[in-house]
């Protein structure tokens, strides 16, 4: 069996390791990186804003769980988003000691600008592909999310 930098060539785990890094790089470079002037938003902050927008509001713990972030990492991103006026902390209706994260109108505008730029970028990149291929990509991305969400 061939060994490449400590990896067994052909081994499923090694392929997952190598393909994961390659897929992450290509997904970021080819699909989700969009130029929005002066936005100052890292992909983690965009992900936080998108899931909060979709949910309406979420507890920090739930956001951390959904994005596989540690609480200190999430706190740093939330603080930055609060400073940018993109999100706010509101008291939880059921437990006043806790709070929920809500997207502000500024946050909606920031996310909207990014989504328009991203949509334009994807449209131009995917426009030449057959509908079956883009459907396959959409399903593959959903499958990746579903499978990796089950990991502990």
Domain positions in the chain are 1-33, 39-149
How far apart CA 32 and CA 40 sit, in angstroms, is 15
Residue 114 confidence (pLDDT): 87
Rounded to 10°, the helix 60-67/71-83 angle is 110
CB atoms within 10 A of CB 58: 19
Residue 27 confidence (pLDDT): 81
- Mean predicted confidence (pLDDT) in 46-59: 93
- Per the model's pLDDT, the better-predicted residue between 59 and 23 turns out to be 59
Residue 14 confidence (pLDDT): 83
Would you state the structure tokens that stand for residue 145, as one six-digit string?
Answer: 């999310």
The Cα-based distances of 55 to 52, 66, 103, 125, 138 in angstroms read 5, 12, 10, 29, 21
- Mean predicted confidence (pLDDT) in 60-70: 90
- Confidence grade of residue 9 (pLDDT, cut at 50, 70, 90): low
How far apart CA 4 and CA 121 sit, in angstroms, is 36
* Domain 39-149 fold: Arc Repressor Mutant, subunit A (1.10.10)
What mean pLDDT, rounded, does the chain reach? 85
- Per the model's pLDDT, the better-predicted residue between 91 and 25 turns out to be 91
Cβ-contact 63, 52 below 8 angstroms: yes
């Amino acid at each position: 069996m061939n060994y490449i930098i400590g990896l067994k060539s052909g081994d499923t785990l090694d392929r997952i390791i190598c393909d994961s890094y390659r897929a992450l790089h290509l997904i970021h470079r080819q699909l989700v990186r969009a130029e929005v002037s002066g936005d100052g938003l890292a992909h983690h902050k965009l992900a936080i804003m998108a899931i909060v927008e979709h949910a309406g509001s979420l507890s920090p713990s739930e956001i951390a769980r959904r994005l596989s972030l540690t609480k200190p990492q999430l706190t740093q991103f939330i603080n930055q988003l609060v400073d940018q006026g993109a999100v706010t902390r509101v008291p939880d209706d059921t437990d006043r000691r806790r709070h929920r994260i809500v997207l502000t109108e500024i946050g909606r505008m920031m996310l909207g600008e990014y989504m328009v730029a991203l949509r334009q970028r994807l449209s131009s990149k995917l426009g030449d592909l057959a509908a079956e291929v883009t459907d396959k990509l959409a399903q593959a991305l959903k499958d990746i999310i579903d499978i990796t969400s089950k990991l502990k």
